[in-house]
């Protein structure tokens, strides 16, 4: 059976450039911390990748700390804010990834949540009001968490404006840019975020590697203690193959950013094809959004049924976050946007990427529309 992978927001297929760099690095017989020439060669591989990742978000290479992925990067950022800046409260949005929501709720600090609007975008007015209330009740700096682009709806958030609000309140901002990087231009200086997090496998790199990028220097507050690698932020011998693959994927994504116009056209073709058969299907996050993402509901049909039917037809999609697969609860992102639970249970996500083809879109349209016609009858 021919198959179509339309779940790039879960994991993008490995780019050829990343595969080549990963395999070459795995053949380097040394530890990057070793002082002999083999070790220096390994260190050079990591340094090249660090520069490539930094270039993707217009940051300084020395600010990049490699981690095991976006989840660890978000957890490390929260730890730095708590231990290094002494934040007194947390202000997070209801649409954040679980790797921000869960550690925030277990941080032992007062946590304030900001809901998103029906368009999936967080209101700056609501954010400022919540931040003010948090500081009135708990004087001192707060940490604001606002992702750059949502993983389920693709809705792009006003991070730069939120950072200005946070800094005006002598507070910090954490920007989860995991889904945005490689799909839209990301510039750390323009965003003015204090912490920015990335994950390699979302942009065509290997799994098991990510990065935390900081705007300023911080006293280490590592999650893992040991040999002091990554400026003392993250102990343990570096995942050299993963890091090299991450760097190569970042460089390829940056060079191929123009290709996102083609991806956006395919996404729009997909959306038009689905709505032509089912005009009443709700589309979520229809404002400014990632060029590759479509979150849509099939009225009266559970998301699980849609995912299974599409899978049988050779089309891979997701219901909610891939990190929450197997759960029967509705999407926390959609409920944070004010959707009724029933509607949130009917939404699925199509996400395209660098290797998506017109035939993938056509196969998805055919399969989804056949399901709708059967269920409607």
- Spatial distance between the Cα atoms of 353 and 318, rounded to a whole number of angstroms: 14
For position 350, what pLDDT does the model report?
Answer: 98
At 224 the pLDDT is: 80
CA 199, 205, 208, 209 dihedral sign is negative
Same domain, 31 and 136: yes
pLDDT for position 326: 53
**Which parts of the chain register pLDDT below 50?**
325
Q: Could you tell me where the DSSP H helices lie in the chain?
A: 16-26, 37-56, 70-79, 98-105, 124-137, 159-168, 188-191, 240-255, 260-277, 303-312, 332-336, 341-344, 358-376
The token pair at 85 is 């800046």
Containing structural domain, residue 368: 4-13+258-376
Domain of 152, CATH number, reads 3.40.640.10
How many separate domains does the chain show? Answer: 2
Query: Is the domain of 251 the same as that of 286?
Result: no
Q: Is 323 a catalytic residue?
A: yes
179 plus 291 within the same structural domain = no
Residue finishing a domain among 202, 237, 255: 255
Q: Which of 175, 278, 295, 323 is catalytic?
A: 323
Q: Which of 255, 271, 290 is the last residue of a domain?
A: 255
Does residue 29 share a domain with residue 132? Answer: yes
Last residue of a domain, one of 255, 278, 310: 255
Please tell me the predicted confidence (pLDDT) of residue 88.
Answer: 96
For residue 309, CA distances in Å to 11, 83, 222, 256 come to 21, 48, 44, 33
**Judgement on whether residues 156 and 226 belong to the same structural domain of the protein:** yes
Q: What is the pLDDT of residue 322?
A: 54
Please indicate, yes or no, whether residues 84 and 182 belong to a single structural domain of this protein: yes
Q: What is the CATH number of the domain that holds 308?
A: 3.90.1150.10
Residues 300 and 222 in one domain: no
pLDDT, residue 231, reads: 83
């Amino acid at each position: 059976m021919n198959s179509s992978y339309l779940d790039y927001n879960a994991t993008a297929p490995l780019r050829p450039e990343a595969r080549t760099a990963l395999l070459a690095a795995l053949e380097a017989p040394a530890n990057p911390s070793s002082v002999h020439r083999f070790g220096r060669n390994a260190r050079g591989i990591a340094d090249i990748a660090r520069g490539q990742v930094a270039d993707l978000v217009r940051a300084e290479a020395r600010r990049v700390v490699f981690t095991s992925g976006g989840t660890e990067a978000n957890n490390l950022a929260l730890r730095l804010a708590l231990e290094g800046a002494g934040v007194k409260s947390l202000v997070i949005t209801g649409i954040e990834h679980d790797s921000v929501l869960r550690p925030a709720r277990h941080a032992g600090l007062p946590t304030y949540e900001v809901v998103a609007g029906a368009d999936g975008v967080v209101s700056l007015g609501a954010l400022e009001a919540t931040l003010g209330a948090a500081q009135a009740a708990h004087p001192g700096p707060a940490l604001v968490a606002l992702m750059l682009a949502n993983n389920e709806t693709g809705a792009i958030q006003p991070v730069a404006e939120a950072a200005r609000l946070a800094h005006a309140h002598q507070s910090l901002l954490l920007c989860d840019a995991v889904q945005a990087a490689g799909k839209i231009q990301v510039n750390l200086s323009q965003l003015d975020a204090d912490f920015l997090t990335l994950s390699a496998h979302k942009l065509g790199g290997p799994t098991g590697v990510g990065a935390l990028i900081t705007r300023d220097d911080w006293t280490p507050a590592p999650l893992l203690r040991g040999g002091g690698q990554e400026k003392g932020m993250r102990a343990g011998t570096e995942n050299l193959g993963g890091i090299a693959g991450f760097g190569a994927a970042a460089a390829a994504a940056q060079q191929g950013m123009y290709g996102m116009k083609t991806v956006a056209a395919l996404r729009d073709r997909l959306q038009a094809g689905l709505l032509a058969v089912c005009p009443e299907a709700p589309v979520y996050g229809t404002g400014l959004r990632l060029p590759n993402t479509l979150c849509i509901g099939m009225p009266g049909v559970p998301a699980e049924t849609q995912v299974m039917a599409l899978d049988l037809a050779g089309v891979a999609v997701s219901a909610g976050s891939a990190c929450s697969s197997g759960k029967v609860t509705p999407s926390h992102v959609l409920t944070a946007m004010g959707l009724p639970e029933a509607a949130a249970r009917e939404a699925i996500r199509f996400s395209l990427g660098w290797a998506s083809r017109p035939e993938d879109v056509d196969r998805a349209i055919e399969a989804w529309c056949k399901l709708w016609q059967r269920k409607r009858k």
